[in-house]
Copies of this chain bind each other. A is one copy, B any other.
Amino acid sequence: MNGAESVLRTLVGSGVDVCFANPGTSEMHLVAAMDRVPEMRGVLTLFEGVASGAADGYARMADRPAATLLHLGPGFGNAFANVHNAYKARTPMVNVVGDHAVGHKPLGAPLTSDIESVARPVSHWLRTVKDARAAATDTALAVAEARAGGVSTLIFPADAGWGESLGPAAPVAVRPAPPVSEGAVAAAASALRAGGGALLLGGVATRGPGLELAARIAEATGAQLLRDTFPWRLERGGSRPRPVGVPYITELAVDALSGLSHLVLAGAQRPVGFFAYPGLPSLLADPATALTQLASAEEDVLAALEALASAVGARAAVPAVEALERVALPTGGALDLGSLTAIVGALLPDDAVVVDEAVTASVFFVEATAGAGEHDYLFITGGSIGWGMPTATGAAIGAPGRPVINLQADGSAMYTIQSLWTQAREGLDVTTIIIANRSYAILEFEFSRVGAEGDGRAARELMDIGRPELSFAGLAQSMGVPGRRVDDVPGMVSALREALAEPGPHLIEAMV
């Protein structure tokens, strides 16, 4: 058995059986081995940023890593932005990056580069395979590290693929998240018991079990429940507990966090601004607020919340939360952001997976969907745009049978538009709603805060994507996805209803 086959068999044996692939010549032995390891599902993408984003979406829903298959340094470069998003959220992911054969690498062939240097900033675990005999063992370690919560990157020289291996390696036991100290629990309990405090949830704490523990703690202590601005996976809707999101805008976040006596961090880091601005603080918490770290994202947050619930004497029952009323379905009028968000809120199916890269419109969609039935809501965790469409692609594979709704800003859609082709190829149940405002609206907003001089015409040229006008419906059709453009409320309502009713991918270009 060659090294390539030993790697694929080890991945499958360790529970990684989906591979988002963009292979090249140096990965040919891995590609050839796909036929000998039929348990591995290869999913072809047309660009590496689609592969890495899809692996992020897959793992968020499937709770286990997918692999990516990438072509040398430039392939990892193309994947980098969405690996970054995964890295920031500690999404389990195993990147397999082909490299030149060991003897070929020092000779300066055109595709040679320092892959480790590119991969290091976004890899929790990084290793270059020495030869075919080490390949399987390294692969098993890479999977175990990813399963412990993070991005593993395995650089794989071509001759480690074609050389004779020692066969597949057994799965490696996954290192459990380290427990927090009793002192951390006691400090958090005393902080919340003092009154006037809040509990800020991040990481896995925004999923069902964490939310229920947090709700019990809040009931016992009177603490406010907050959550990170952009959680990895927020389970919400119906009667689920509803922590309040820390706003994106620095001034609003400072307001929201002001006046707290204590802020206890559970799977979250201390709140920090997305960007710095002249004259505004980077750290968002009130300087008078005492910060207490119950658990970092790397620690066992759920066990820490359990211990905290005990320490504050929380009741065993999860406090009842009354479901919000669903927003009403608009029936007429112009299609604008208000009516569009209301239509989505009114029609969002139960058990949906929402992938939100709506950027400036995101906060309005979050609000409008709060009264929907239970659903999962995925946010962009590393701030790197071009994430939504690939992540929706992977989420649909990671959560088969569930409808995936991708709320997608138009500017950022163009980064990884190739995702649509993979959605069509795999027949994935993704409904993409393009919020077509024909501008980088986030930049116009940020620009307005910079204080430009003059008429700003040259600057605005760098934020206007309306010249020429893009046709997202046309782009979708050109990649095999039914696409339509709508510009009024009845059109949007029927387009969304039809897209949700019909299997397979759809794209709706909503002109707002």
Contacts and interface: CB of A to CB of B under 8 A. Distances in A.
A103 B269 contact: no
A468 B479 contact: yes
Of listed A452, A453, A462, A468, residue having the most chain B CB within 10 A: A462
Contacts of A461: 34, 42, 44
Contacts of A471: 477-479
Interface in A255-293: 269, 272-276, 278, 282-283
B443 A25 contact: yes
Interface stretch (A147-155, A377-385, A395-403): A377-385
Identical chains in the assembly: 2
Contacts of A24: 443
Contacts of A510: none
A162 interface: yes
Contact of A110 (B49, B88, B454, B468): B88
Interface string A436-455: 00000011001101111111
A24 B114 CA distance: 27
Nearest to A452: B32
A415 interface: yes
Of listed A384, A421, A478, residue having the most chain B CB within 10 A: A478
Given A23-B443, A46-B414, A276 B159 contact: yes
Given A35-B458, A103-B282, A275 B468 contact: no
Contacts of A108: 269, 272
Interface residues of A, number: 105
A47 interface: yes
A81 interface: yes
A462 B23 contact: yes
A283 B107 contact: yes
Contacts of A121: 73, 113-115, 117-118
Given A111-B382, A457-B35, A479-B468, A49 B73 contact: no
Contact of A104 (B84, B104, B282, B477): B282
B453 A421 contact: no
Given A100-B275, A104-B273, A417 B415 contact: no
9 contacts: A32-B450, A32-B453, A34-B462, A42-B458, A78-B80, A107-B283, A162-B450, A474-B475, A475-B475
